[in-house]
Structure 1
Amino acid sequence: MTPVATRIAEALIEDLAKSLEVPISRYESTDRSYKSLARWLEREHSRFCEIHTDVYVQGSFRLGTAIRPIGADEHYDLDVVCEFAVSKALKTQKALHADLGHELVDYAREHGMDAPSPWDRVWTLNYADEARFHMDVLPCLPDSQTQRQLRLDHTISMDFVEKAVAITDSKHRNFDRISDDWPASNPNGYADWFYERMKVVFETLRKGIALADMRAEVAEIPHFMVKTPLQSAIQILKRHRDVRFSEEKIKRPSSIVITTLAAHAYQQEADISGALLSILSRMEAFVENRNGLWWIANPSDPRENFADSWNDVPDRKAAFDDWLETARTDFRRAAEENDPQAIVELLSPRLGRELMDAAINRSGRQMTDRASTISRMSRSLRRILDAPHKRPASWPIVKTGQVAIRSAVFSRDGFRDAHIASDGEALPRGGSIRFEAVTDVPTPYNVFWQIVNTGSAAAEAKDLRGNFEEATISRGWLVRTETTKYPGAHSIECFVVKNGYCVASSGPFVVNID
């Protein structure tokens, strides 16, 4: 059963979505930029002046799911498609790619920009630093006829086939020769499918904006002025993903996977929290297993599998599963809360404290006394609590007992054993620590330890940890031994679980290592 958010949680999630939103001025700026490029390609002396050209946006700006960059140094990515009415019988991929590059070089020079960068499929236009975005420009040709025949041959859906295009790719076997076999794509078809998935809510909101602005025609309202709960939920999930994998970027689930599964799972919920919680509960149902292969079909071209990389690198499927379970736990627990500061503490590790503070300040909410307590925390403890890879406890929490780490003894060859305190002086590497916990919870129960490493050394070694590790209980002793391997702040915490409920937790014991 999908949880229902409290009124306070719902309001805070609404403010969170607003804090993530790309300003309307940014949409207007990118709109002007790609239309400027379209005019350039159609000018009298362009290599494409006698060819019908359709220039349009694809990706997150087209779908309304772009989010503000995390840091001041990060830029927006604008994905633009240039569709030229040219036959594959007259043009190679290489020639089309080069012709577009020639025009972009001239465009950049005319507008005082750095020269564009060529890539396998696209050219990148780098705008001035103050603009804070770059434009990836993809050349392509209409390809509906070829794609229709291919789908007929494979007996698969014809949905959106009329929007199919053939794209350039320097790694393709036919890149430099005339051939009907080009890589395929369908950005317009995907966008049509995506908007169809939220059509009811989108049209309702669009009509409301038209009435409020007293405009005669709903069609006058640009798509970027409308924000549905599906779009906001995807924005929140993308930021959650970005922060969760900020130190493990290679494992990060792709935006197209998150967007596609979320759109499949959306059921026209009218509020963001309802959409978010419903999507998280249902999205994995749209991941298929076809004869041992993970498969997420491109809705606009069912032959394309968005989960290809999961089959090539199984760790990426495991990373997606881990992220999904973490997101479910984070937002379920946040939805149950009535204390805004508690919600901030639950979501900050994987959404960012700066973003959560911005969200909570939008409505000037009053914080509890916990805020001042948090401000007095040590840097090491704050680093542990905000570690994005620190998994939240997924068990329902019903505190009926206590557990505490009673002692921690540091050992190193050639030195006398020493008792240490939590968050004490930094220890040298190359030693070990024996932790002993005690609990008043009556048996039977299960014990789990959570070890969290931080710092670049642990990240480079792919040993950040953060999951729950079940312990073997011997004669009632709750004992764990860990090594002092990586510099930085680290923690260990003991959890007691009884009948599926977390009935006691020790709180993090912080260990600093030189």
Structure 2
Amino acid sequence: MLNLNDKKAQIDDILDRMAEGLQLGDARYDRMKQHYEAVKNWIEKDEKFFKPFNYEVYPHGSVRILTTVKPIGSDEFDLDIALHLKTNHAAHTPQKIYQELKRRLMEHETYKGMLETKKRCLRLNYSGDFHMDVLPGIQEYEWDEDRLCVPDRELGTWVSSNPRGYAKWFIDRANTVKVSLLEKAIRAENLPADNFRFKKPLQRAVQLIKRYRDIYFQDDDTYKTSSIILTTIAGIYYTGQESIFDTVEGIINQIQSNVSRLPHRIKILNPVNAQEDFTDKWDSEPAYYEAFKAFAVHLYNEWQELKRENGVLNEGRILKGLFGEDNFINAQRAQTELLESYRNRRDLGVNRETGNFVKASTAASTAIKTNTFYGEKKVFRK
């Protein structure tokens, strides 16, 4: 799915394949879906409180906006679920909604041993696999189907939230570009559309930046930057680039500019609720902001190195460091299989100056011979 004369398309193809490799495997995704459906059914069968209400249970977060990333090592993936009641929130206290959900989950023989209370949600720990955060809430306004009042257990008050509205905002931002660079490459090379998952550059960029974050903070995650901050920054700073490479570059350039230019910390507000500052912890615990700045500067510097014409070996070294060696190798292997199909058609060459793959007819290129067994011409005898 790449134009052999376009280096940016070649790198985008590698980045896309790496992002695809970061997604949750089908087996884990199916397990999560089954557990989500089971929890949903258990809540729906409650006779004591929930059954009379009109409500929805739906996923939000990275699963909804298609930016999931497999955890590294023993880390667990988090599945965010909203329990959205459509009733008058003034008729219920925050403590009541929270305690009723806790009561219902505690009535389940399995769930009661997995339950962990959090500030605004209740967590079910599926040990060694993932955890499910169930956020209870009541629709804040009748005329807005997305905004919720959620209980803050520590404050004992309702807090405005909008997880579904946030997902809509992000998807709208991702859809700023109608046809990505890789989609155009498919059409140019006349390849079948099912060779490509058609995720937008912004979604791929978020996956890659989150993976770099995981690697960067792997040894010490005390002040690790949260996914909601990185996702929101990416959505705010995205300006509709068609390529994954340009999207990542545009985001990190904006971060670098603001971090170095502003005399105060950058502030990342919830785009669908300006009263909520996702980065308010950076005031009370400045070490989080300092860690974010160091993380952003390192990514910026590595990306500048990647932009230089240093050949495929150096580019591979940088990409391995940013997004993981195994992930890069698997993506490179997949791209090589595609390039092998070009080689077999004798369309493939190598640029003598950069080492990048190009069409064999391109100036300053050397054609690559068709592969044969041990480099010898195959002779078939009767």
TM-score (norm 1): 0.56
- Whether the 8 Å contact between 1:287 and 1:296 is mirrored in structure 2 is no
- Whether the 8 Å contact between 1:113 and 1:127 is mirrored in structure 2 is no
- Distance in 1 separating the partners of 2:228 and 2:260: 16
Tell me the CA shift for residue 357 of structure 1.
Answer: 2.8
Q: Which one of 142, 159, 164 corresponds to residue 188 of structure 1?
A: 164
1:407-418 mapped onto 2 (5 Å cutoff): none
Structure ID, larger Rg = 1
Tell me the CA shift for residue 194 of structure 1.
Answer: 0.7
Q: Which one of 125, 129, 146 corresponds to residue 163 of structure 1?
A: 146
Unaligned runs of 5+ in 2: 1-5, 187-191, 338-382
Aligned length: 323
Q: Which one of 131, 136, 144 corresponds to residue 133 of structure 2?
A: 136
Letter in 2 for 1:236: L
1:63 aligned onto 2:65:
yes
Tell me the CA shift for residue 235 of structure 1.
Answer: 0.8
1:97 aligned onto 2:98:
yes
- Distance in 2 separating the partners of 1:337 and 1:46: 67
Inter-CA distance 302–353: structure 2 relative to 1 (3 Å threshold):
same
1:271-286 mapped onto 2 (5 Å cutoff): 271-283=243-255
Q: For 1:141, what is the secondary structure of its paired residue?
A: strand
Match of 2:175 in 1: 199
Q: Which one of 229, 238, 250 corresponds to residue 201 of structure 2?
A: 229
Tell me the CA shift for residue 184 of structure 1.
Answer: 1.7
- Whether the 8 Å contact between 2:88 and 2:138 is mirrored in structure 1 is yes
Letter in 2 for 1:163: D
Match of 1:34 in 2: 36
- Distance in 2 separating the partners of 1:289 and 1:56: 40
Tell me the CA shift for residue 226 of structure 1.
Answer: 5.3
Match of 2:82 in 1: 81
Inter-CA distance 285–303: structure 2 relative to 1 (3 Å threshold):
farther
- Distance in 1 separating the partners of 2:256 and 2:267: 11
- Distance in 1 separating the partners of 2:99 and 2:261: 40
- Distance in 2 separating the partners of 1:165 and 1:25: 32
Letter in 1 for 2:154: K
- Distance in 1 separating the partners of 2:134 and 2:33: 14
Letter in 2 for 1:333: E
After superposition, the C-alpha distances for 1:186-216 in whole angstroms (9 at most, x for unaligned) are 111111111111224479899x9xx968xxx
- Whether the 8 Å contact between 1:122 and 1:136 is mirrored in structure 2 is yes
* Richer in helix (by share): 2
Letter in 2 for 1:343: E
Tell me the CA shift for residue 100 of structure 1.
Answer: 0.5
- Distance in 1 separating the partners of 2:260 and 2:39: 40
- Distance in 1 separating the partners of 2:172 and 2:307: 28
Q: Which one of 15, 29, 38 corresponds to residue 13 of structure 1?
A: 15
- Distance in 2 separating the partners of 1:186 and 1:293: 25
State the superposition RMSD in angstroms: 3.4
Tell me the CA shift for residue 106 of structure 1.
Answer: 2.9
Tell me the CA shift for residue 134 of structure 1.
Answer: 1.5
More contact order relative to length (CA 8 Å, sep ≥ 6): 2
After superposition, the C-alpha distances for 1:262-310 in whole angstroms (9 at most, x for unaligned) are 1122222232222212222234567899995642221010011122122
1:311-330 mapped onto 2 (5 Å cutoff): 311-330=283-302
Inter-CA distance 348–334: structure 2 relative to 1 (3 Å threshold):
same
Q: For 1:89, what is the secondary structure of its paired residue?
A: helix
Inter-CA distance 247–203: structure 2 relative to 1 (3 Å threshold):
same
Letter in 2 for 1:121: R
- Whether the 8 Å contact between 1:201 and 1:270 is mirrored in structure 2 is yes
After superposition, the C-alpha distances for 1:18-71 in whole angstroms (9 at most, x for unaligned) are 221223554444334323322222226353110112111121112211101111
Inter-CA distance 165–290: structure 2 relative to 1 (3 Å threshold):
farther
Inter-CA distance 139–330: structure 2 relative to 1 (3 Å threshold):
same
- Whether the 8 Å contact between 1:34 and 1:55 is mirrored in structure 2 is no
Q: Which one of 235, 253, 258 corresponds to residue 225 of structure 2?
A: 253
Q: For 1:281, what is the secondary structure of its paired residue?
A: helix
Match of 1:45 in 2: 47
Match of 1:242 in 2: 214
Q: Which stretch of the first structure deviates more once superposed, 228-237 or 161-170?
A: 161-170
Tell me the CA shift for residue 136 of structure 1.
Answer: 0.8
Inter-CA distance 316–127: structure 2 relative to 1 (3 Å threshold):
closer
Q: For 1:251, what is the secondary structure of its paired residue?
A: coil
Match of 1:221 in 2: none
- Whether the 8 Å contact between 2:137 and 2:149 is mirrored in structure 1 is yes
- Distance in 1 separating the partners of 2:262 and 2:30: 43
Tell me the CA shift for residue 334 of structure 1.
Answer: 2.2
Letter in 2 for 1:197: R
Inter-CA distance 346–288: structure 2 relative to 1 (3 Å threshold):
closer
